[in-house]
Structure 1
Amino acid sequence: MGKKSPFWELLKNIKTRWVIIVLPLVFLSVFFFLVTLNNIFTQTYDIDRFTSAKETIRSPITIENQQDTERKTHETVQAVEDRFVISEEITEEQIAYVEETFDAITKLGEDKLHNRQSSDDENGDNPPIMLTTQERVEQLKQILSSEITDAVSDGTFYQLIESSPSDRSRGEELLNSSVNNVLEKGVRTENIQSSKNEAAQSIKYSTLDNNLKEALTDLSEFAIVENSFFDVEKTMDARKEAASSVEPVVIRAGEIIVREGQTITNEIYEDLTLVGLLNNNRNVYPVIGLALLIMLIVGVIGYEMHSLSTQKRLDKRKAASIVLISVIVISLMKIVSLYTTPVNQLFFVVPVATGSLLVKQLIHERLAIVLAALYAILGSIIFNGDIPNSLNVEAGVYFFFSQIAGIIFLANVKDRLSIVRAGIGMATINIITVLIFVFLSFEKYTWIDLFIQSGFGIAAAFLSAVLTIGLLPFFETGLGILSDIKLLSLSNPNQPLLRKILTEAPGTYHHSIMVANLSETACEAIGANGLLARVGAYYHDIGKTVRPHFFIENQLSIKNPHDVIEPRQSADIIISHPYDGAAMLKKHKLPKEIIEIAEQHHGTTLLKYFYFKEKETNDKVKEIQYRYPGPKPQSKEAAIVCICDSVEAAVRSLKEPTEEKIEEIVSSIVNDRLMDGQLDESPLTIEEVKKIHSAVCQTLKGIFHSRIQYPMKEAK
């Protein structure tokens, strides 16, 4: 059979990617959408006016009640009083009329006295001619303004003239004061009579003569006239200002519109209609918004899965893990949200960090961080109190920091207790986050509330740790996913297969330990999984235990059996050990990654010693007969073990390993693997190969450093 065409390979890759990436994303999209749908799309009610509400109904949105706002504005505008302007000219003019009257009467009295004196001088013996009061009134009317004489009666003038100068002076002062006070307040058409009465009352209770009081009252009625007029411009400005100061009547999201058992009045019915709770034609825009948000979230997850797939770190098992972990975390949020009310903030108790801990252990730390942010966004929707246009920012922030804390504190994993220790760190961060909310809030919290919410944070952290410990075996065994904790347990020297190597092939065991040290160092230099490479190196030569004495490291004080058998037979025995080892690992149900390292650590390399030995007697021998069947290393870790396996064996064979010889032999083996195409199917880059070369050389130089030669004691 020839090689498949690139077109068929492309179709195979597309099919594989569809199964591994697209199908999980479609499932997650549907799941996220269904879980969060009721948080943005509330139910409608079939309610009639004047019936009793069967449940408490809250507003799903924030909306202005324009009808109430207009009514409130109209009432406010109507309450604004009309604005009037007081004419200072009229005020001054009327006061001037009063003053003119009194000045004229005073002047008339002075003229009378003057005339009398003149008559005495000219006719000293004759008596003076006296004018009657009526004549004096007529004289006064001739010198006063027509506005005064037309409005004021002769009787008033008569009484003023007849009063004594001192009383008249006091009356003038009283009248001016009363009239001025009234006019300064403003006299309008509707209050002109009350203003005149006010002035009259001031005069009435004075100590003046009654006749003078009557005259002053009559004169005040003349002086007090309309001097305050309606100002259209100022009134309109005042009404506009009042209208602009009216706060809109707003129904807030989450506000209770009607309580259970309360009668549905017309006003309540209108509010229910306004917020759309009685509208059978649902608004589809929130659904579109949610769909777009889910698309963004799933798109980010898809990008991360594609990135892992490109690095050959994603398979069906890990894709299934992403789906299962997402379902577990979001389901926990949804369940807790069903019992959450505006009074109790139960989101503090959600063990949301379970997802991040599991993803970091089972898949990759970067993906754990990304999912932590996405779970926090979904949590802010789920705990929004079924208010469509809102997010619970507190819940989102709390979920994010809780998960990030779990990722950070779960470092240097040595056993399952590391997860418990991470739980302590998460509990601390949860309490700090709770305190942040308390201190930033305007509400006053009691100590009891603070302890309860902090207790929720501690409970969430330890629930996350317990759930992670409990779920890890399911993912490790049920889905066959390899975690750091599983690797650590496999690295225990008391593992049956490792004890088998130690007891049956001690030289191979020592060789495996050395390869493990080199491999871990090389992986750490390029950011690969050093723990996986170390454990894989421990088991990579387990197949040699089938025939341990056919491998030189186990031939202690015995004759090499290859010296007495044919090269082809020797090659078959040597070539079979990776596949014997893979079969043994499968039988003991070790993880797939360990089995692949054992199976791939020789790739399709040529068994040169036996090939050239056969070629000495058989020129027609083919290389393929002396090559390992493969496959070639598929992962970075398998490729590194492949290199370190050959390097360790070659350097160990050196009698005097110097730095130059170590550099030379490592370069030779690395170049040979590259030229032979053994690294073609691994994701290693040339730059990474250079880093591996440098790290391996540095480690070997440290192992085989020169030692002080102690002098031997001479025999006597």
Structure 2
Amino acid sequence: MDKNKYNPRTWFSFTKRFNKWGMIIAASLLLSVFFFLIMIDNIQTETYEIERFSRAKETIRSPVTIENEQETERKIRETVQAVEDRYNIDQEITDERMAYTKEIFDAITNLGEELKDTQQNKEASDTAPISEQEKVQQLKQILSEEIQKGVSDDSLSQLIQVPKEEREKGEKFFLEILSKTLNNGVRTENTQSAISNMQQEIKYSDLDADMREVLTRLSEFAVVENSFFDVDKTSTARKEAASNVEPVVIRAGEIIVREGQTITNEVYKKLDLVGVLDKERNFFPGIGLAILVLLLGSAIAHEMNWLDRKERLNTAKVTAIVVISIMAVALMKIVSIYTTQINQLFYVMPIAMGALLLKQLTHERSAIIFSTLFAILGSVIFNHQIPGSLNVEAGIYFLLSQLAAVFFLKNVKDRLAVMKAGLGIAVINIMVVLLFIFLSFEKYAWGDMLLQSSFAAASAFLSAVLTIGLLPYFEAALGILSDIKLLQLSSPNHPLLKKLLTEAPGTYHHSVMVANLSEAACEAVGANGLLARVGAYYHDLGKTVQPHFFIENQLAIQNPHDFIEPNESAKIIISHPYDGAEMLKKHRLPQEIIDIAKQHHGTSLLKYFYYKDKEQNKEVEEATYRYPGPKPQTKEAAIVSICDSVEAAVRSLQEPTEHKIEEIVTSIIQDKLVDGQFDECPITLQELNKIQQITCSTLKGIFHSRIQYPMEEAN
């Protein structure tokens, strides 16, 4: 069989990767389905079985804002029909009729002058005077043909007989009303009414009867059609009127029909328009929601994969992410049921709880990512069940509240840190509420402002209280190790640390030193320094089983290893990581601490006892003097392993100079690397170099040379 065909390590890596992606995809799909089911009624309209001319069993409101196109078209049609036709006044005709009228009066005046001169000549020669008929004939000879056809001889004769002063007065009056009439426009259909209007003005003027009579007849000649239909102007006016018509819009929340009201044909059309009669129309919003949850699920899967690459993802943390997400979204849904556009109850929603829990149980970046996702979900959930709309105000409030939670939760030393973060969240929440109030143009009473601000403060308080209350359950049920839990375990009052201090004081001091070195090294390479510190406190707990067999606890006694065989000594020494792991497991300490205790020696060789036995027995097997493992699986375990060996080695130096410290640290790291102790943990050569530098720097600070003060000689 070809050995290259099957590689157990490759198969293990493939299986691990397959299981990881299976877990991530399952969690993402579960959350996506849950989000879809929670939000489905926020994007779908409720439908009704309604018949025309029946009575409504309940009040029905429009679920959407939509234009009533049919009603808009009707309104446009009525508006266009109401637009009057546009006409153009022909100024040439107006000027022409005015000129004809002036011509008549001017001709009569000129004729009068001529007749006066002629009459004087005739009187001198005793000639008979000119008759009225002759005067008319002479007048007609100098008048335009249009006037001759349009004005009767009787009218001209009567106008000639009117005294000059009265005629001039009548001319002025007639030209004024004629100009006004013609400039107003005379159309075919209103020619007679325009003439009648002029005749009425003439009738009630202060002219004498003869003048009124002749002007009345003359108006029939002077007034003619001078206003003609303008197609372009009329079309433009109608288009402008149509464009100014506001669309008829049915607003979301508008009542279409009240309970008990008859469903008229018009009401039925509105109900059909807003989609409450058509179940099939809910299909398309469902597709949109499916796309949204697919995007959110992809973001969740990407974030989980990032956590896995950073060695911060396991089944417990995936479970925590799923449970926290379900809790946060379900709580939003419950609050949304009682929220209206008036009470704004979403301000009291303790949304920051999710960010506070996620930051402590996973990672700060994950808390920010999920804060954004929860804000998006909140904007849909609190849309007052109006399909197609988002409550942007709620989304912004949720996002800023959660980001405040991530920002203010720092330097977690105890559960009071969460309450302090809650104060910061309250300030931000109240500022956001006031922001929305002042940005709006609505007038708010002081009572409303205080009420909404109190909602915001209550949201922060509830978030902090729920976080403090729920965190222990996540830690206990899922075995997740939070910073608060680590800080509790680091207390010297912990029973196991008290046991270590009283039964193995040298080991206790050694563990404290290893903890200091490990935390500094972890922070240099981006590992969890607090976890390494606490793990270092407990890593040698197994030495309390037989403390005097370990050199740091041998004070003023002979070394018991001098009286037993090397293999017996090896068994005692090799057993301490596993004895410690059993004790930690019995006291239900987190698995991460147990793993550090079990892995901190890996499969390294007990060189002293191995070579001591080899001096007596050349056939001794090396495996007898090796720890059974496992090798360090995490960066924290590897760093504790290095610092454990380094601290013991440097402490054994009589004169720990800087050169000796650097030499021994480098040697220990190289030996472990060559021995394959780091093969199963994600630590790099670059990180090992940083660990070497920071460890040397820390040890130099601890073991710096001191001034030797001379002892006073006794007199």
Amino acid at match of 2:424: G
Partner of residue 184, structure 1: 183
- Structure 2 CA distance for aligned equivalents of residues 327 and 263 of structure 1: 44
Match of 1:345 in 2: 344
Which range is displaced more, 410-419 or 281-290?
281-290
Q: Which moved more, 1:109-118 or 1:661-670?
A: 109-118
Q: What is the aligned partner in structure 2 of residue 64 from structure 1?
A: 67
* 1:112 aligned onto 2:115: yes
2:182, 2:226 within 8 Å by CA — same for their partners in 1? yes
1:652 aligns with 2:651: yes
| 1:85 to partner: Cα distance | 0.5
* Residue 31 (structure 2) pairs with residue 28 (structure 1): yes
Residue 386 of structure 1 corresponds to 385
1:50 to 49, 53, 61: 53
Q: For residues 468-479 of structure 1, what are the structure 2 equivalents within 5 Å?
A: 468-479=467-478
- Aligned 1:115-134 pairs, distance under 5 A: 115-119=118-122, 124=124, 126-134=125-133
Q: How many Å apart are 1:619 and its aligned residue? A: 1.8
Amino acid at match of 2:569: S
For 1:221, the equivalent position in structure 2 comes to: 220
Is the CA contact (8 Å cut-off) linking 1:159 and 1:215 kept in structure 2? yes
Quote the residue 2:8 is aligned against: 5
Q: Which runs of 4+ in 1 moved over 4 A?
A: 117-120
Secondary structure (helix, strand or coil) at the match of 2:616 reads coil
Letter in 2 for 1:414: K
Q: Within 1, Cα distance between the matches of 2:7 and 2:566?
A: 35
Partner of 2:310: 311
Q: Which residue of 2 aligns with 1:211?
A: 210
Mark the CA change 1:384 to 1:574 in structure 2 (over 3 Å): closer, same or farther.
same
Partners of 2:258 and 2:350 in 1: CA distance: 33
Residues 577-629 of structure 1: per-residue CA shift (max 9 Å, x gap): 00000000000110000000100111111111111111212222222111111
Cα deviation for residue 26 of structure 1 reads: 2.1
Secondary structure of 1:616's partner?
A: helix
Report the counterpart of residue 577 of structure 1 in structure 2. 576
Corresponding residue number in structure 1 for 2:147: 148
Give the drift of 1:255.
3.2
Q: Deviations over 1:25-60 (max 9, x none)?
A: 222121111111111122211122233333333323
Q: Which residue of 1 aligns with 2:712?
A: 713
1:129 Cα deviation (Å)?
3.6
| Residues 28 and 297, structure 2, Cα contact 8 Å, conserved in 1 | yes
Aligned to 1:101: 104
Contact 1:20/1:315 (<8 A) preserved: no
For residues 25 and 514 of structure 1, do their structure 2 counterparts lie closer, same or farther at Cα, with a shift above 3 Å needed? Answer: same
Structure 2 SS opposite 1:257: strand
Opposite residue 50 of structure 2, the aligned amino acid is I
2:680 corresponds to:
681
AA in 2 matched with 1:635: T
Deviation at 1:11, TM superposition (A): 5.2
CA distance in 2, matches of 1:70, 1:637: 74
- Secondary structure at the residue paired with 1:229? strand
Note if contact 2:45-2:275 (Cα within 8 Å) is conserved in structure 1.
no
CA contact (8 A) 2:45 2:282 kept: no
Q: Does 1:87 align with 2:86?
A: no
Q: 1:100-156 CA distances to partner (integer Å, 9 max, x unpaired)?
A: 111111111111122234456xxx5x4354111221012112221222122212221
| Aligned counterparts of 1:611 and 1:451: Cα–Cα separation in 2 | 77
Equivalents in 1 of 2:392, 2:57: separation in Å? 31
- Does residue 412 of structure 2 align to residue 409 of structure 1? no
> Residues 650, 261 of structure 1: CA spacing in aligned structure 2 closer, same or farther, 3 A cutoff?
farther
The C-alpha deviation readout for 1:327-379, integer Å capped at 9, x for no partner, is 11011001111111222211111111111111111121111111111111111
Q: Which amino acid aligns with 2:483?
A: D
The two structures have a TM-score, normalised by structure 1, of 0.96
Residue aligning to 1:666: 665
Asked whether the 8 Å contact 2:422–2:461 carries over to 1, the reply is yes
Residue 598 of structure 2 corresponds to: 599
Structure 1 residues 370-411: Cα deviation after superposition (integer angstroms, max 9, x where no partner): 111111111111111112211111111111111111111111
Question: Gaps (5+ residues) in structure 2?
Answer: none
Q: Which amino acid aligns with 1:100?
A: E
**Structure 2 CA distance for partners of 1:231 and 1:163, relative to 1, 3 Å:** same
Distance apart, 1:205 and its partner CA: 2.8
Query: Matched residue of 2:256: which SS?
Result: strand
Q: Letter of the 1:203 partner, please give it.
A: I
- Report the Cα distance in structure 2 between the residues aligned to 1:394 and 1:262, rounded to whole angstroms: 36
Aligned residue runs from structure 1 range 300-699, under 5 A? 300-699=299-698
TM-fit CA distance, 1:19: 5.0
Tell me: CA distance 1:617–1:375, structure 2 relative to 1, closer, same or farther (3 Å): same
8 A Cα contact 1:359 1:368, kept in partner: yes
Task: Give the deviation of 1:706 after TM superposition.
Answer: 2.4
**Equivalent pair of 2:646/2:664 in contact (CA under 8 Å):** yes
CA distance in 2, matches of 1:107, 1:423: 107
RMSD between aligned alpha carbons? 1.7
For residues 300-344 of structure 1, give each alpha carbon's deviation from its aligned partner in whole angstroms, at most 9, with x where no partner exists: 111111222233321111111111111110110011111112222
Q: Aligned partners of 1:164, 1:699: CA distance in 2, in Å?
A: 133
1:17 is aligned, of 17, 20, 23, to 20
Alpha-carbon separation, structure 2, partners of 1:35 and 1:397: 20
C-alpha separation between the residues in 1 aligned to 2:674 and 2:257?
80
In 2, Cα distance between equivalents of 1:428 and 1:261? 49
Under a length normalisation based on structure 2, what TM-score does the superposition of the two structures give?
Answer: 0.97
Indicate if the aligned counterparts of 1:254 and 1:385 stay in contact, CA closer than 8 A. no
Corresponding position of 1:284? 283
Which stretch shows the higher mean deviation, 676-685 or 598-607?
A: 676-685
* Aligned partners of 2:497 and 2:538 also within 8 Å: yes
Alpha-carbon displacement from aligned partner over 1:471-511 (angstroms, at most 9, x marks no partner): 11111111111111111111111110000000000000000
- In 2, the alpha carbon distance for the partners of 1:206 and 1:380 equals 78
Query: Which letter does structure 2 place at the counterpart of 1:224?
Result: V
Secondary structure at the counterpart of residue 589 of structure 1: coil
1:567 Cα deviation after fit: 1.0
Query: How far 1:14 sits from its partner (Å)?
Result: 4.6
Report how far residue 445 of structure 1 moved: 2.0
Contact 1:647 1:669 in 2 (8 A): yes
Shift of 1:190: 2.1
The one-letter code sitting in structure 2 at the alignment partner of 1:387 is: I
- 2:228 match: secondary structure: strand
> Aligned AA for 1:613?
K
Q: Distance in 2 between matches of 1:109 and 1:667?
A: 140
Change over 3 Å in CA distance of 1:56–1:484 after alignment to 2:
farther
Q: How far 1:15 moved relative to its partner?
A: 4.8
The Cα shift of 1:209 comes to 1.8
Shift of 1:169: 1.1
1:176-224 deviations in whole A, cap 9, x for unaligned? Answer: 1111111011111222222112222332233322111111121122101
Whole-Å separation in 2 of the counterparts to 1:420 and 1:390: 35
Report the AA paired with residue 402 of structure 1. S
Give yes or no for the alignment of 1:202 onto 2:201: yes
Question: For residues 296 and 668 of structure 1, what CA distance do their matches in structure 2 show?
Answer: 51
Q: Deviations over 1:239-275 (max 9, x none)?
A: 1111122222222334332344443332221111112
Letter of the structure 2 residue corresponding to residue 267 of structure 1: E
Q: How many residues were matched structurally?
A: 711
CA distance in 1, matches of 2:429, 2:229: 67
Q: What's the CA shift for 1:18? A: 4.8
* Contact map agreement 1:501 1:542 (CA 8 A) in 2: yes
Counterparts of 1:263 and 1:429, CA distance in 2? 51
Report the 3-state secondary structure (helix = DSSP H, G, I; strand = E; otherwise coil) of the residue aligned with 2:279: coil
1:540 touches 1:578 (CA, 8 Å); kept in 2?
yes
